[in-house]
A = this chain, B = another copy of it.
Amino acid sequence: MQTGLELMKELSITSPAKIVLVVIDGLGGLPRDSFGKTELETANTPNMNKLASLGNCGLIQTVGTGITPGSAPGHLGLFGYDPLVFTIGRGVLEALGMDFDLAPGEIAARGNFCTLDDNGMISDRRAGRISTEVGKQLCKLLDGMEIDGVKVIVQAVKEHRLVAVFRGEGLRDELSDADPQQTGVPPKAVSALAPGAERTAGIVNQFLTQARLRLAAHHPANMVLLRGFSKKPDFLRVADIYKLKAAAIASYPMYRGLAKVVGMAVLTTGPTLSDELATLEQNYTKYDFFFIHVKAADAAGEDGDFKRKVSVIEDADKALPRLLALKPEVLVITGDHSTPAAMAAHSWHPVPCLLHSRWCRPDRLIKFGESECRKGSLGLMPATSLMPLAMAHALKLTKFGA
């Protein structure tokens, strides 16, 4: 039996029709009180409302009922990759989030400076949240070591956080974490989780020994903890699955990295939605699929700022006519997960989704929002159904069977 991606591979055809996928990060929300409206429902969105009337709406579920997706599974789902099958290691995600161009075979780990007490026990897993500036200085002490022909690159992320990349031949990522994720215990030695990974484990442990020596005088950041050892995954590429020439327009490194992992071209763009639309206009004839990422909604949600999230959504709505002027054959507006300001965090709530093409049976909804989407024809839809649907509406899929 065929899986969804295999079916897409078999049925997809190339055509000039354009699909534009706008991901408003963290779009879904919650009302502030029992009888109130969500952020999206509160926002004045005349352009999206018109599309919700003419197009098809629903609520997207990414991983499964009740499961809160991180940004990586959230986006992989929208691109049609089942996030329970296609997983990306934490170390790789940290590297992608820094625009680190991880080569095949390299091992990335997520790290943080920590404090060891006089007995070598971890007393603070975040080294008193040292400043980003101090973190950068300390990373210089660790960066560039050579161990058994393997180069170790250490780069600061933010505050106590860092990423370590091991570059060399024959490295394996089946390694246990060095971070025990608790205080009052010593850092753990890394061990091989599969035959053949012993040499890599040894190299990482030598690095950790060296790191402890070099950091000894730098209390509270007198040690480093590593976890999430992983290689860049070798996923099927969108060009091979959907026969699409796909481009990503995203100003945050993490999303550019995710787009690269699935084989999209990553276009240079500026930080605002207006910059992103300019990039879209300049490249419109060169690709037939565009992923446009709007980060600010998630950031506002994470900050618990209901009003700011509403205003980010309203700005996106105001920008829509400029996008619609390009007349894409299929336009999808959705999010990678919900980030209700009321929770100040990602959540499991299904995400509103809107698809517009000339081949929709109009849902005739009056507002793009969570409650109306519940009445939409897409129903409660797994995220992995979105790409097949967009492909169908772009007339880029042939018939199954005769």
Footprint of B on A, CB under 8 Å? 1-2, 4, 7, 11, 30-31, 34-35, 38, 54, 59, 63-73, 82-85, 87-88, 90, 93-94, 342-343, 346-350, 359, 361-362, 364, 370-371, 374, 377, 379-381, 385, 388-393, 397-402
Contact = CB atoms under 8 A, between A and B. Distances in A.
Contacts of A59: 377
A88 B402 CA distance: 9
Contact of A71 (B82, B389, B392, B402): B402
A52 to B, nearest CB: 13
Nearest to A89: B402
Nearest to A373: B377
Given A67-B11, A391-B66, A361 B401 contact: no
A359 B30 contact: yes
Nearest 9 CB-CB pairs, A to B? A66-B388, A66-B392, A70-B401, A65-B385, A73-B401, A66-B389, A348-B392, A70-B402, A68-B399
A224 B83 CA distance: 47
A84 B399 contact: no
Contacts of A377: 59, 350, 374, 380
Question: Which of A65, A342, A388 is most buried by chain B, counting CB atoms within 10 A of its CB?
Answer: A65
Contact of A1 (B34, B85, B381, B392): B85
Contacts of A1: 82, 84-85
A388 B90 CA distance: 24
Contacts of A71: 401-402
B361 A399 contact: no
B35 A362 contact: yes
Contacts of A82: 1
